[in-house]
Amino acid sequence: MKILVVGANGQIGKHLVKFIQENENLEAKAMIRKEEQASYFKELGAEVAIVDLEDEIEEIAKAAEGVDAIVFTAGSGPKTGKDKTLMIDLDGAVKTIEAAKQANVKRYIMVSSFDTSREAIQSAPEAFAPYVVAKHYADEWLRNTDLDYTIVHPGGLTNDPGKNQVQLAEKVERGQVPREDVARVILAALENDTTIGKAFQVVEGNTSVEDAIKSV
């Protein structure tokens, strides 16, 4: 299986590409914005596509040609304004979904926010609300396609070493989760078709990622 990782230069993306390249049955294609970001991925033996999420759908679709799955891990980051949240977390996600259709890629995994419900939008701190809104509508757009989608809702992200131990369900108590373990969850979801059409929250816990995914 060949997997296009969108937002590969992010911390989850880097872990994911590494895990994919370590799996003899999988192959990563890293979609990044700048040539100077490429060396990490080339050292892992991964193919690289230089595409900006603010480019046209057709450019993203070219990067998706010949792949079997797309993982959207991109994000505008906490230091950007509402404009970038709109352009990357919403429009970038929607354009990637549309690019998947153009490139005839059926499998699509979205890394979302922990809670993207209407209630979450209404209760979010003012500075965080635009991000939740963007993720809410990107998730809705994906649900309304015929893609084989999975939506991953991670808790508060940390850079702690992953333990390969999580709690995972449609609804879990809010908590934290290492980015490394989120990447493990994505990889396990790609290898398990029972996650198709599912959305689930994930935080650190006491169940192996493999067993947690099987319970979805």
- Residues with catalytic function: 131
Distance CA 41, CA 45 (A): 6
Reduced to 3 states (helix: H, G, I; strand: E, B; else coil), residue 29 is: strand
Q: At what angle do helices 129-143 and 93-102 cross, to 10 degrees?
A: 20
CA 92, 98, 104, 108 torsion-angle sign: positive
How many CB atoms within 10 Å of residue 112? Answer: 23
Distance CA 64, CA 85 (A): 23
Partners of 49 in the β-ladder: 31
Q: Which helix (H) or strand (E) holds 119?
A: helix 118-123
